[in-house]
Amino acid sequence: MEKDVPGGVWVQRSILADQVYKEILARLMDGELKSGDPVSIDGTARELGVSPTPVREALARLESTNMVVRAALRGYRVAPMLTHDELLDLMDARLLIEPYNAELASGRADPPFLEALEQSIDDLRNAPNGPHFSDYRSYWEADERFHRLIAEQADNKFVLGAYESLGGHVQRFRLFSGLGVQDARSAIEEHARILKALRRRDAAASRIAMAGHICGVRERAIHEHESAGRQARSESA
């Protein structure tokens, strides 16, 4: 059948790599794979019943967001959690990039784009946000989708590349293990303000609304980092 469908093999491989990525990501987010743990390509492939290729592709994708690191001749390891200062640096980088994305996207805010943003906000409202990644995965996906839609609508491949390299969403949500999403109401309200500005095609208001959102996320991320630290100390005591 694969020979009868042009590109069918590639599509199936892409889907498999995405499934493997999601499985490894879940293990990282829930702490099954801890900072410094090795991540074997062959071992993971055997566990998941797949070839090493989709595992290698998934790990390369995770490396691009700094969730895993690779050392020559030593393979992949789980990256350490962000320090307090690194988290602040990450949020500062998002504050440079994402308001600019919103400003550019406002000039290209066509109905399909706006409808997709509205759907992502509805999905946020309806998503569970319990303590485990399986509980808040759909929330994370809707949140990431909202920001990615704006980054893609900005239509600047270099800025999009910079946005993707930050891995901001996955890094911040890594703090939620055992805590769950605690800022859903604030985040949804902030997303709604951004959408309102984009609907008006108001570049300045879109930039300001996104900046306000990232500043809010920054403050909440600091609190989450401190909570995660207290939880880790309590568990080790």
Residues 103 and 61 placed together within one structural domain of the fold: no
**Domain stop point among 78, 105, 126:** 78
Picking from 78, 102, 134, the residue at the C-terminal end of a domain is: 78
* Same domain (yes/no): 199, 92: yes
Residue 196's CATH number: 1.20.120.530
Residue ranges of the chain whose pLDDT lies below 70:
1-14, 177-178, 228-229, 231-237
Q: Return the CATH number at 27.
A: 1.10.10.10
Model pLDDT for residues 202-226, shown as the tens digit of each residue:
999 999 999 999 999 999 888 888 8
> In the prediction, which pLDDT does 4 show?
43
For residue 161, which of 169, 152, 170, 153 has the smallest C-alpha distance? 152
Q: What does the pLDDT read at residue 92?
A: 94
Domains held by the chain: number: 2
Whether residue 40 is found in the same domain as residue 109: no
pLDDT at residue 1, rounded to an integer: 36
133: exposed, middle or buried (Cβ count in 10 Å: 0-12, 13-18, 19+): buried
pTM of the model: 0.82
Amino acid at 119: Q
Residue-level pLDDT at 2: 38
Tell me how far apart the alpha carbons of residues 89 and 100 are, in angstroms, rounded to a whole number: 17
